[in-house]
Chain A
Amino acid sequence: MFRRMLLSVLVRQKKKLFLIALTVALGVSLATAMLNVMFDVGDKVNQELKAYGANLNIVPKGAALVNELYQLDNADTRAAIQYIKQDDLVKIKMIFWAYNIVDFAPYLTTQVTVNDKPVTLVGTWFNKHLTIPTGDEVDTGMLAMKSWWSIEGNTMKDDNLQGVMVGETIATQLNLKLGDSLELISPLTNKKVTLTVNNIFHSGGIEDAELYVSLPVAQNLANKDGLVERVEVSALTTPENDLARKAAQDPNSLSRTEWDTWYCTAYISSIAYQLEELMPDVRVKAIMQVAESEGSILQKTQLLMLLLTVLSLICSALAISNLVTANVIERSTEIGLLKALGATNISVAMLILTEILIIALLGGMVGYFVGLGFAQIIGQTVFGSFVEPKMIIIPLVLIMVSMITLLGSLPALRIMMFLRPTDVLHGR
């Protein structure tokens, strides 16, 4: 009997139940989309913030003071500068948090003269293909880290040993155009090399007065084969908290469990620590301007999305329960008739609840997939990448749908309990 009544309601009241299913589907799709975007927005915004470039600077241990201070450059202080071995660079991709290292680029600066004018020449990797001993292959380099540079000309390649990227200021001073050739002489080693202008770039910083070449060219000119001066690293990090700040002061002051937590979280200080562990004789410095601001912006965005999600969940819950109430009230005549025929309150309530739950679950299922679609649309249009569907959302949504439909039916059921069959059937 119960099953037959249920079936007949489902079949006959298609239109009305369709509205419930539609609303539930919409509410669920909203919830699914918002939850998916919310769980992913941290990673996505973190990626976007990589536009600010490196947040870690690796320098040789002893040279931390000397090299950035003396752009004055006399020969004997230069000789005292220490270097990082180029072969050590792959180790950057071998730390515990290797997958959080987005890009890195080594730099070797040397002085050259062009038409007897002193110019700073920087050797670097533009977009180098590396094979890591762990078997992974990565492409990394400076071009990906300097997204704000506007570059004229074809993309510079690392195997282009005859090409040079010229800063805008120098290009104007020396009257250089794309394709021109210029002769560089190193005053230290007296080596000479002729290069072609491959790109002219504008950075808005001191780089505009510098020349950029492939690393081997600079190493050859400076006679520093296999050596680099500093490495810039761009890493995805977790915003700092008290633990990270405590660790940044002195990692040894942490207790064992604190230390484990810190080491296994992608704080900028723990990534710096792991890099120092693996690479001999370097100091890893966090670039505060990038690291600090990143954390604050990331937290703000996540909090914003969390609040928006919670509020839109509340709204869709209200909308769904509102509709369920409306639906039950509308069927008061039918309920009155059932009661007049001798149905108990409990059996009527069971009938209505089962029927609404079935509809809600059907609607919810459709809504979940529609919501995934919305999340993908948002992910693709805004960040141009796939939003990872999180499995945890399925039970969350399932619980939400059941709770909302049950709670939403409560006021309606209360009304139903006090419904007097005679009144309803009479039409009052």
Chain B
Amino acid sequence: MNKNQRFILKTLLSSLIRRRSRIAIALLGVAIGATVLLGMVTLCYDIPRQMGQEFRSYGANLLLMPANNQPTMPMTEVKKAVSLLPQDKVLGVTPFRYDSIRSNQQPYTIVGTQFDQVINTSPYWKIEGEVPKNPNEIMIGTDIAHFAKLSIGSTIPISGKSKQNSRFDEELTITGIVKTGRAEDNFIFIELNDLETLLEENNQAEVVEISITATQDELQRYIQTIKDNSSTVEPHLIKWVTQSEASVLGKLSSLLYLVTMVVLILTMICVATTMMTVVMERRKEIGLKKAIGATNKSIAKEFLAEGLILGIVGGVIGVICGLIFAQIISANVFGRSIVIEFYLIPTTIIISAVVTIIACLIPVKRALEVEPALVLRGE
């Protein structure tokens, strides 16, 4: 290390140590900028995904139906088709079977389904009481409950014909009443296995609803994969859900992008003005250095190094604060932890260093242009 380098290092260190309050201010400014940068960009990345999960409360977005005009499809084929989907994104797979029965001479539609899955694919069902857990237990739609004056705990007789054309008569207990505002209000729900015992059939489904976290394009791709691999199952997009989700989610993420942009630009300018004020104060020092023979280049180099250190230290502090900031928002709003894009961390530090250096060098350059004598005189 030659003499010159040692001198630069010494002035740098002493300038950092002696001017503690100024350095604290500059660091705080850079750290705020980096916090906002990392926090907002991380949120911007993650929120559309998080919101996508929220949108699953609208229920299923993919439908599997029997191909070739068959009335039903075997569940083994459905399982095969579902295994083609990314498992970590599938929230629920619910099979349905419909049949008509009579109860006290009134015709009704009975629906066989898996209740543990229905809760996942149709989280909006308002269920009073409980879903059936045992055989001979059913859940009825609210309109039937009104119409036939039934309540939880009462029993109703049902009768119908099995697929083998033998008659069945059963007495079933109501454990829950479901309200959706749609056709479900007029249905009787029973566990799929129990319905198939009555119908004397095994492992068949008429419709399978799937709720999966995916965009419309991803869904189209999954549909193509299933079409290519299965001849018994036909996938359909529930356009009503996916299209509306795509439009609303698009709006939300562009809102977020714009807000992030505005916030970022403003904070970066704020950081720059703070740095400029802190550096502008040192015009006298620059003048003195020039007067005793420092070249413009060496002064610029010194400020560059100082800016770099400030930018990196501030950036690291900001990265930590930014991650906490993003985590707080994600935990409060969505109750989930945020997914961090790791390449954002070095990017943030680099950007804050660059902004700091630029903000340092603008006033330094202005100070360098002036004659040292003028600066020292205080003009």
A residues neighboring B (CB under 8 Å): 16, 19, 22-23, 26-27, 29-30, 33-34, 37, 41, 45, 48-49, 51-53, 56-57, 64-65, 68-69, 147-148, 202-205, 285-293, 296-297, 300-301, 303-304, 307-308, 311-312, 315-316, 318-320, 322-323, 325-327, 329-330, 374, 377-378, 381-383, 415
Pull 5 A–B residue pairs with CB atoms less than 8 Å apart, ordered by A.
A65-B147, A287-B181, A296-B54, A304-B329, A318-B32
The residue in chain A whose Cβ has the minimal distance to the Cβ of B56 is A293
B residues in contact with A287, CB < 8 Å? 180-182
B32 A315 Cβ-Cβ under 8 A: yes
Choose from A300, A327, A378, A382 the contact partner of B334 (Cβ within 8 Å). A300
Given contacts A48-B251, A374-B262, A382-B251, contact A204 B237 (CB under 8 A): yes
A292 B124 Cβ-Cβ under 8 A: yes
Choose from B107, B185, B278 the contact partner of A285 (Cβ within 8 Å). B185
B236 A204 Cβ-Cβ under 8 A: yes
B262 A30 Cβ-Cβ under 8 A: yes
The residue in chain A whose Cβ has the minimal distance to the Cβ of B126 is A288
B236 A29 Cβ-Cβ under 8 A: no
A residues in contact with B123, CB < 8 Å? 292
Given contacts A48-B248, A287-B181, contact A37 B259 (CB under 8 A): yes
B25 A297 Cβ-Cβ under 8 A: no
B248 A45 Cβ-Cβ under 8 A: yes
Interface centre among B182, B332, B333 (most CB of A within 10 A): B333
The residue in chain B whose Cβ has the minimal distance to the Cβ of A37 is B259
A19 to B271 alpha-carbon distance, docked (Å) = 11
B residues in contact with A315, CB < 8 Å? 32, 35-36, 263, 267
B262 A33 Cβ-Cβ under 8 A: yes
Given contacts A30-B266, A65-B144, A326-B277, contact A291 B244 (CB under 8 A): no
B240 A19 Cβ-Cβ under 8 A: no
A352 to chain B, nearest CB (A): 15
Given contacts A65-B143, A312-B263, A322-B32, contact A304 B277 (CB under 8 A): no
B residues neighboring A (CB under 8 Å): 21-22, 25-26, 28-29, 32, 35-36, 39-40, 43, 47, 51, 54-55, 57-59, 107-109, 122-126, 143-144, 146-147, 179-183, 185-186, 236-240, 243-244, 247-248, 251-252, 254-255, 258-259, 262-263, 266-267, 269-271, 273-274, 276-278, 280-281, 325, 328-329, 332-334
A319 B240 Cβ-Cβ under 8 A: no
B51 A51 Cβ-Cβ under 8 A: no
B359 to chain A, nearest CB (A): 11
B143 A64 Cβ-Cβ under 8 A: yes
A81 to B9 alpha-carbon distance, docked (Å) = 92
B residues in contact with A48, CB < 8 Å? 247-248, 251-252
Choose from B28, B244, B270 the contact partner of A27 (Cβ within 8 Å). B270
B21 A329 Cβ-Cβ under 8 A: yes
A305 to chain B, nearest CB (A): 8
B75 to chain A, nearest CB (A): 24
Given contacts A307-B333, A308-B329, A378-B262, contact A288 B179 (CB under 8 A): yes
A residues in contact with B252, CB < 8 Å? 45, 48, 301
B181 A322 Cβ-Cβ under 8 A: no
A307 B22 Cβ-Cβ under 8 A: no
A289 B182 Cβ-Cβ under 8 A: yes
B180 A289 Cβ-Cβ under 8 A: yes
A312 to B248 alpha-carbon distance, docked (Å) = 24
Choose from A22, A286, A303, A311 the contact partner of B325 (Cβ within 8 Å). A311
Interface centre among A37, A292, A326 (most CB of B within 10 A): A326
A residues in contact with B36, CB < 8 Å? 312, 315
B residues in contact with A53, CB < 8 Å? 240, 244
A325 to B278 alpha-carbon distance, docked (Å) = 10
A residues in contact with B278, CB < 8 Å? 326, 330
The residue in chain A whose Cβ has the minimal distance to the Cβ of B288 is A427
The residue in chain A whose Cβ has the minimal distance to the Cβ of B253 is A382
B residues in contact with A204, CB < 8 Å? 236-240, 243
B258 A291 Cβ-Cβ under 8 A: no
A270 to B107 alpha-carbon distance, docked (Å) = 33
The count of A-to-B residue pairs whose CB atoms sit within 8 angstroms is 206
Choose from B59, B238, B280 the contact partner of A16 (Cβ within 8 Å). B280
B329 A23 Cβ-Cβ under 8 A: no
Given contacts A289-B181, A415-B21, contact A319 B277 (CB under 8 A): no
A323 B273 Cβ-Cβ under 8 A: yes
Choose from B109, B180, B239 the contact partner of A69 (Cβ within 8 Å). B109
A48 to B100 alpha-carbon distance, docked (Å) = 39
B residues in contact with A378, CB < 8 Å? 255, 258-259, 262
Given contacts A48-B251, A292-B124, A301-B252, contact A319 B22 (CB under 8 A): no
Choose from A307, A319, A382, A415 the contact partner of B32 (Cβ within 8 Å). A319
A326 B274 Cβ-Cβ under 8 A: yes
A303 to chain B, nearest CB (A): 5
B residues in contact with A381, CB < 8 Å? 254, 258
A319 to B264 alpha-carbon distance, docked (Å) = 13
Choose from A56, A147, A303, A308 the contact partner of B247 (Cβ within 8 Å). A147
A316 to B35 alpha-carbon distance, docked (Å) = 12
A41 B255 Cβ-Cβ under 8 A: yes
A196 to B22 alpha-carbon distance, docked (Å) = 80
Choose from A23, A49, A285 the contact partner of B270 (Cβ within 8 Å). A23
A26 B269 Cβ-Cβ under 8 A: yes
Choose from B22, B181, B238, B325 the contact partner of A326 (Cβ within 8 Å). B22
A297 to B126 alpha-carbon distance, docked (Å) = 17
A270 to chain B, nearest CB (A): 16
A378 to B258 alpha-carbon distance, docked (Å) = 6
A residues in contact with B35, CB < 8 Å? 315
B273 A316 Cβ-Cβ under 8 A: no
B residues in contact with A307, CB < 8 Å? 328-329, 332-333
A residues in contact with B333, CB < 8 Å? 300, 303-304, 307
B376 to chain A, nearest CB (A): 11
A297 B55 Cβ-Cβ under 8 A: yes
A52 B259 Cβ-Cβ under 8 A: no
A297 B54 Cβ-Cβ under 8 A: yes
A318 to B34 alpha-carbon distance, docked (Å) = 13
Q: 5 shortest A-B CB distances, which residue pairs?
A: A204-B239, A148-B243, A319-B270, A287-B181, A330-B281
A296 to B54 alpha-carbon distance, docked (Å) = 8
The residue in chain B whose Cβ has the minimal distance to the Cβ of A285 is B181
B residues in contact with A293, CB < 8 Å? 55, 57-59, 124
B244 A52 Cβ-Cβ under 8 A: yes
B residues in contact with A383, CB < 8 Å? 251, 255
The residue in chain A whose Cβ has the minimal distance to the Cβ of B262 is A374
The residue in chain B whose Cβ has the minimal distance to the Cβ of A378 is B258
Choose from B146, B239, B281 the contact partner of A203 (Cβ within 8 Å). B239
Given contacts A292-B124, A378-B262, contact A49 B248 (CB under 8 A): yes
A52 to chain B, nearest CB (A): 5
A56 to B263 alpha-carbon distance, docked (Å) = 39
A residues in contact with B126, CB < 8 Å? 288, 292
B266 A26 Cβ-Cβ under 8 A: yes
The residue in chain B whose Cβ has the minimal distance to the Cβ of A287 is B181
Choose from A30, A289, A327 the contact partner of B277 (Cβ within 8 Å). A327
B residues in contact with A320, CB < 8 Å? 270
B110 to chain A, nearest CB (A): 12
A202 to B274 alpha-carbon distance, docked (Å) = 58
The residue in chain A whose Cβ has the minimal distance to the Cβ of B251 is A48
